[in-house]
Amino acid sequence: MSRHVFKLDELGSEIAQIALPAALALTADPIASLVDTAFIGQIGAVELAAVGVSIALFNQVSRIAIFPLVSVTTSFVAEEDTIGRVSSEAQESDYVETGSCVDTESNELIPQKGAAFLFQIKDQVDSSFLGTYRPKTLGSSFDVVKIEPERRHIPSASSALVIGGILGLLQALFLISGAKPLLNFMGISSDSPMLNPAQQYLTLRSLGAPAVLLSLAMQGVFRGFKDTKTPLYATVAGDVANIILDPIFMFVFRLGVSGAAIAHVISQYLISVILLWKLMCQVDLLPPSLKHLYFGRFLKNGFLLLIRVMAVTFCITLSASMAARLGSTSMAAFQVCLQVWLATSLLADGLAVAGQAILASSFARKDNEKATATASRVLQLGLVLGLILAVILGGGLSFGAKLFTKDADVLRLIGTGIPFVAATQPINSLAFVFDGVNFGASDFAYSAFSLASYCSYCQHYMFMYSLLHSWIHRTLDISDDIYESSSFCWILEDRDRNRALEVSEGLNVGFCKLIISFQTLPLYLIIMSCGGIL
């Protein structure tokens, strides 16, 4: 059944209420980082380069834990919260039906003068038995009034906070103890003037690692509740504090790059405190015992997503190294194109978050119809978003490239890469939204192994310096995927779900494989164009 992509029905409104704040929250931190970089640039070029290396190292280490933690937490919390709500609604419905039967029999059998006394006794018994619900009389009828709701107990929320705190402490110890050798590995030699400021910044910035992991774990919890506004408000508050504190610590107190790191750490702890305060108002974070913490479930699925993160990191690192071999000019052009390509994915990530939360909730309710409708809608929106981004980037990036550099050679190569950055936006958006769909179905294994298996393809095509040859191989490789995905979709259209699952096991869901494989193809195309090989 065809659906209107922009139809503002109940499902469309729910997607918008989750996706828009999530996308804004994801873009708030990069904007604050740009302002942070501008302040550091006022100190000097050496400090700016040193901080750039430290930030890249910190983010690379953090990314290994952040993505699995947030993704797994969102799905598990959404599932448990929905199951709890369904159980509560069922109990309330049973009580209302039971209460109605008792009231009807009482009105028929009890004299009018004794009714008030019976109601009083019944009220006391019901209140002591139910705790959270009590009846009250309004004239001749009963209404069920819900008392102040108690805090929910979500085992996955408690588990996520414990794991996030432990990972944050381990990351802080790792970066602080190994700051110098890690910076040497990143290319900063021991006699470089960049080493001292880079080590100062990285050491102080690492003190905020526990806050970063805890805040992101709590963001995953709120996403599971379908509440993306609270993380947005907390993130904006922390980023604003960072922007205000930066010039104070750096220039007023004359702390330089150390002041920038301190300001950032304070802002991260502020975000964590705000989220923790809001979360404690809704959730009982102290489990009855350690048996109620699902560490095994978290670690199993987190490890699967860790494989996926390593695969993505491998592809991006390989593409950057290949671009660097083509020269500094090609590397500069590639970096601009890559950053624009990655920045646009933040908008698609908002749709992915919405799809993941709603799908996890729908599967917990066993509402397959809503799950199907949600997957279709977010994928349609992802495709439309990709087409819009393609038009915007294709028409505007050639003019906006001058904001990044004024070098004529770099601008020329950026102009060569723009068509590929723009043309791959629809596929890019679909790939990120497909991640949300897979995570919402708790299918972390397929998402991890399918992308990891494609690394070999990526490496193969990266070393083929002929676009014609690579496209011949790519066409032969994906033609079978297109046929497989067509068969799979035809079976789904016939609503034969069992047959569809059977086929998907044999064919590996060719369409998903096709989307995932195209996700890393733009990196290759950008390298080829920026290197002038086309």
In which residue are the tokens 């910044």 written?
201
Which tokens in the block code for residue 488?
């799979």
Cα–Cα distances (Å) from 291 to 81, 82, 218, in that order, read: 19, 21, 21
Alpha carbons within 13 angstroms on the beta-carbon side of residue 166 total 9
In this predicted structure, the answer to whether residue 262 has a pLDDT above a threshold of 70 is yes
Which tokens in the block code for residue 63?
């990314």
Question: What average pLDDT does range 507-521 have in this prediction?
Answer: 44
Q: Are 206 and 172 in contact (CB under 8 A)?
A: yes
Query: Percent of the chain scored above 90 by pLDDT?
Result: 34
In which residue are the tokens 């791959």 written?
424
Question: What's the confidence (pLDDT) of residue 96?
Answer: 60
In this predicted structure, the answer to whether residue 122 has a pLDDT above a threshold of 70 is no
In this predicted structure, the answer to whether residue 3 has a pLDDT above a threshold of 70 is no
Using pLDDT thresholds of 50, 70 and 90, give the confidence band for residue 527.
low
Query: Which residue has better confidence, 103 or 85?
Result: 85
Instruction: Give alpha helix (H) positions in 401-424.
Output: 408-423
In this predicted structure, the answer to whether residue 499 has a pLDDT above a threshold of 80 is no
Query: Which residue has better confidence, 271 or 486?
Result: 271
Domains of the chain: which residue ranges?
1-14+297-534, 85-146
CA 411, CA 35: separation in Å to the nearest integer? 24
Q: Whole-number mean pLDDT of the chain?
A: 76
Residues 6 or more apart from 493 whose CB is under 8 A from it? none
Which residue type does 260 have?
A
Question: What average pLDDT does range 379-406 have in this prediction?
Answer: 84
Residues 6 or more apart from 343 whose CB is under 8 A from it? 30
pLDDT in tens, 35-71: 777 888 888 888 888 888 888 889 888 888 898 999 9
Instruction: Please classify residue 44 by burial: count the beta carbons closer than 10 Å to its beta carbon, then call 0-12 exposed, 13-18 middle and 19+ buried.
Output: middle
DSSP state letters, 126-151: HHHHHSSEEEEEETTEEEEEEPSPPP
Question: What's the confidence (pLDDT) of residue 493?
Answer: 42
In this predicted structure, the answer to whether residue 406 has a pLDDT above a threshold of 90 is no
Residues 6 or more apart from 124 whose CB is under 8 A from it? none
| Cβ-based neighbour number of residue 211 at 10 Å | 23
Question: What's the confidence (pLDDT) of residue 530?
Answer: 56
Q: Are 447 and 372 in contact (CB under 8 A)?
A: no
Q: Are 374 and 360 in contact (CB under 8 A)?
A: no
Question: What average pLDDT does range 77-84 have in this prediction?
Answer: 92
> Among residues 137, 208, 148, which one has the least CA distance to residue 175?
208
Question: What average pLDDT does range 411-423 have in this prediction?
Answer: 83
How many angstroms separate the first and last alpha carbons of the chain?
43
Question: What's the confidence (pLDDT) of residue 462?
Answer: 54
Question: What average pLDDT does range 418-440 have in this prediction?
Answer: 87
Q: Are 64 and 175 in contact (CB under 8 A)?
A: no
φ, ψ of residue 255 in degrees (nearest 5): -95, -10
In this predicted structure, the answer to whether residue 160 has a pLDDT above a threshold of 60 is yes
CA 509, CA 458: separation in Å to the nearest integer? 20
In this predicted structure, the answer to whether residue 99 has a pLDDT above a threshold of 80 is no
Question: What's the confidence (pLDDT) of residue 321?
Answer: 66
Question: What's the confidence (pLDDT) of residue 523?
Answer: 53
pLDDT in tens, 209-236: 999 999 999 999 999 999 999 999 999 9
Q: Are 418 and 404 in contact (CB under 8 A)?
A: no
Using pLDDT thresholds of 50, 70 and 90, give the confidence band for residue 461.
low
- Helix 10-41 with 45-109: angle, nearest 10 deg: 150
CA 497, CA 441: separation in Å to the nearest integer? 15
Using pLDDT thresholds of 50, 70 and 90, give the confidence band for residue 526.
low
Query: Which residue has better confidence, 172 or 57?
Result: 172
- Helix 45-109 with 257-280: angle, nearest 10 deg: 10
Question: What average pLDDT does range 473-484 have in this prediction?
Answer: 42
Which tokens in the block code for residue 231?
């993380």
Q: Are 373 and 3 in contact (CB under 8 A)?
A: yes
Largest CA distance in the chain: 98
Query: Which residue has better confidence, 495 or 383?
Result: 383
Question: What's the confidence (pLDDT) of residue 257?
Answer: 93
pLDDT in tens, 336-383: 787 777 777 778 899 999 999 999 999 999 898 999 899 999 999 999
> Among residues 296, 283, 288, 74, which one has the least CA distance to residue 163?
296
